[in-house]
Structure 1
Amino acid sequence: MENQADSFDLDSSEIWLPHEQESRDGAKRISHEVEIWTSGWNFTGRPLLDGESLGRLLMQIDLVEARDQPVNSSLLQRRELARLAQDYCTDDYLGSYHKGHAEDRNPFDLTQYRWPDYLGPINSQWLDRNGGEWLYFEAQPLHQHGDSFYWLHSIGHQRCLRVRFLVERSIPNAGNPYREQRSPLDNYRQLMENIMDSMTVELSEAASIEKSNIHNADGDYPLPHCTEQLVKEAKHTLYMWSGAGYTDRTQPKQGGDHRAPKEDVAAFIYQRVQPRPLPGCLAIGQAFLSDNESGPTPSPQADAPKLSQNG
């Protein structure tokens, strides 16, 4: 991208853009961000048969400054970085909801249905990349959005790098995230991992001194988590939208039910939340926390709880 800057003066207040987030309880918090770099890669298929594109991988690198942290906390502490990641999945747009409807679309049902836009964080883990520790997690879209992959790396008490990859797939007869699974994520993931394998972060002298003064216990790798309740909501939401933009040729085009079987959607969610360690994995989280658990998961190698594929 020719118009992107080669360097940034982080001491200039003009480059920091405020980003307001509203949590589910209505509280508002503001972070400050600098867009460092963005790019994209297009995936093409067979000429004529697959059209111009099968999808694309977008990459965006931002610098995030958290100015409203508690006293004596630091993003150089793994637990604080895990808490920041958790905030993305509850207070930012990853934690947003949209308006739902009754299963039979009963016009007399006045219930205010709220369905989640994403299931996340899933597959959260700590990774070693070129000598640096990255906190990684994914978010599964449930409505209209693309698959999201996040990499976080602390560079100071209040600052971290956030690398976000977004996969947008475009295949025939696939107007929702469930149907898009017919175009596997494998190639997109491989390109993402190759890109991250090439990245090295060098701290400034001041940041290196800050890091040397922070103690992280060996083997202590707190992780953000998904909840059992959100998994249940995700199964229902993805099922309800599994007919959007999709034609099941065994059903009448007009008036037919083009949604996938509930058990198939549940099986997809079951597979999607299973932990899958990436190369360089230092610690990996469980599939989700049960409803009576809370807080960042402390176990570095927690076994994934058994999920009912039909539940």
Structure 2
Amino acid sequence: MTTPSIHSSHPALPWLAALGVMLMWASSFIVIRFGGADFSPGAMSLLRTGAAAATLFPLLVAGRVRRPRTPRLWLTVIAWGVVWFAAYTIVLNAAELLIDAATASMLVNVAPLIVAVASVLLLGEGISARLIAGVLVAFGGIALITVATSTGHVSPIGLLLGLVAALLYAGSVLAQKPLLAHVDSTSMTVVGIFAGFAACLPFTPQLVAEIGSAPTGSIVAVVYMGVFPTAFAFLLWGYALTRTPAGVLSSSSLIVPGITVILAWLLLGEVPPPLAALGGVLCLAGAGFAVAPNVLAALRRTRQDEGGRGSGREHVGAAEPGAHR
């Protein structure tokens, strides 16, 4: 008898994985304040992807990474990794040198809306008015957080870089979804992160120069982002994306600004302005409204599967005495 797959036995697990990803991504907005001021964009990405690659290296040694089957697939996964783990992070780091984190967060979170629409046009996924409404409500919350916490300094180049980061984010999610039909999520994440790390190696001289004068806390903060919001989070993200629609899953990232407001309050003692608190509530409510039907359906399938397995065990138990007679 075959063992049931995780996907069939526990359909709620992808959503639990997504929640873990959102918590880790939200935490990066907290810790980046300790490291972002001491590293240039390229050097910071090199240290972050280097820490992520070192974290995932044991998977290579243990033989858990399977090579893409064809040279074309190899090149596609490598290109995806360069865009997602090198280009995106460098562009976002550069944007935040010119605009504040709140504005950058709002710009980057245009990506879920792009993914929700493009997943219909490019991936053939269904889209509902509920999903679009939830995304728009959550984006309205992000706008309120931005208004409440923004420094008011707006750079046209910074805004452009933020929008480029959003496009790179959306393009990476849309490219990853079909690739996961040919490459398992763990292998794709590991290969992609190593490709991103290799692409950042030209920034080694800057990193060597900057790491010598950077405070220990800043170094630890960037390494943390490599280990958790990058290595572990993207393993979970790939697992969840394999099992859920790209448009719906990416919409769950709209809760990140709301979680960030809560974490800043709990961990840093920063009481959010009333408008930012309202924006956080809208982020959580909008994203919840968009993805709740999928989560509830997964939980219902879990209960049905458990009930079915329980009925099956009772049936087998009742038949066994007859087999001995």
TM-score range, shorter chain: under 0.3
**Larger relative strand fraction:** 1
**Larger relative helix fraction:** 2
Where relative contact order (Cα < 8 A, 6+ residues apart) is larger, the structure is: 2
Larger gyration radius, structure 1 or structure 2: 2
